[in-house]
A and B are shown apart, each in its own frame.
Chain A
Amino acid sequence: MLFFQALAAWAQAYNSLLFNLAIQGVCGLSLYITLMAGQLSLANAGFFLIGAYTAAISSKLGFGYPWDLLLVALLSAVTAVVVGLPALRLRGVYLALATLGFGEVVAVVARNLVLPRGCIERACIANGAVGVFGVPRDARHWHVYLVLALLGYFFYRLERSRVGRALAAIREDELVAGTMGINATYYKVLAFGIGAVIAGIAGGMWVHFNNQVDPRSAGFTQAINFLAYAVIGGTTTFVGPLVGAVFLYTLPEALRFLRDYRLMTVGLLLALAAVFAPRGILDPALWRQFSLRRPAPQPAALPRRQSDAGS
Chain B
Amino acid sequence: MDPVRFVIQTIINGVAVGSVYGLFALGYTLIFGTLEIINLAHAAVFMMGAFFSLSLAQGTTIWGLLDPPLRLPLGVAFVLGSLGAGLLGILIERVAFRALRRRPATPLTTLISSIGVALFLVNLAQLRFGADDQRFQVRWFPDWLRENAPQWSWIIPGSRFRLAQVRIGPAQVQMLDLIILLVAVGLMLALWFAINRSKVGKAIRAVAESPRTASLLGIDVDRIIMTTFFVASALGGAAGVLVGMKNNVSPFMGQVPGLKALAVIVLGGLGDITGAMLGGLVMGIAEVLTQAAGLASWSDAVAFGVMFLILVARPQGLLGRAREQRA
Contacts and interface: CB of A to CB of B under 8 A. Distances in A.
Interface of A: 40, 86-87, 89-90, 92-94, 96-98, 100-102, 104-105, 107-109, 111-112, 173, 175, 220, 224, 227-228, 231-232, 260-261, 263-264, 266-275, 278-279, 301, 304, 307-311
Given A89-B312, A90-B315, A267-B117, A278 B109 contact: yes
Contacts of A96: 38, 111
A97 B307 CA distance: 8
B116 A86 contact: no
Interface string B264-298: 00100010000000000000000000000000011
Interface of B: 32, 34-38, 40, 95-96, 99-101, 103-124, 127, 208-213, 255, 259, 262-263, 266, 270, 297-298, 300-301, 304-305, 307-308, 311-312, 315, 327
Given A108-B297, A274-B100, A309-B34, A231 B108 contact: yes
B120 A108 contact: no
27 contacts: A87-B312, A90-B312, A98-B311, A101-B266, A101-B305, A101-B308, A104-B301, A105-B301, A111-B297, A224-B40, A227-B112, A228-B115, A231-B108, A261-B127, A264-B120, A267-B116, A271-B95, A274-B110, A275-B95, A278-B104, A278-B106, A307-B105, A307-B107, A309-B208, A309-B211, A310-B210, A311-B212
B112 A231 contact: yes
B107 A102 contact: no
Given A269-B116, A272-B116, A275-B99, A93 B107 contact: yes
A311 B221 CA distance: 15
Nearest to A274: B113
A92 B113 contact: no
Contacts of A271: 95-96, 112-114, 116-117, 120
B141 to A, nearest CB: 39
B113 A268 contact: no
A307 B101 contact: yes
B305 A267 contact: no
Interface-central residue, B38, B96, B312, by most chain A CB under 10 Å: B312
Given A101-B307, A264-B123, A274 B109 contact: yes
Nearest to B258: A220
Given A87-B311, A224-B40, A267-B120, A104 B127 contact: no
Contacts of A105: 301, 304-305, 308
A220 B106 CA distance: 21
A94 B311 contact: yes
Contacts of B121: 267
Contacts of A108: 297-298, 300-301, 304
Given A104-B259, A105-B305, A270-B115, 11 more contacts: A93-B36, A94-B315, A108-B298, A108-B300, A111-B297, A271-B117, A274-B113, A275-B95, A307-B105, A308-B212, A310-B210
Contact of B109 (A107, A231, A311): A231
A238 to B, nearest CB: 17
Nearest to B326: A311
B69 to A, nearest CB: 24
Given A271-B96, A310-B209, A260 B127 contact: yes
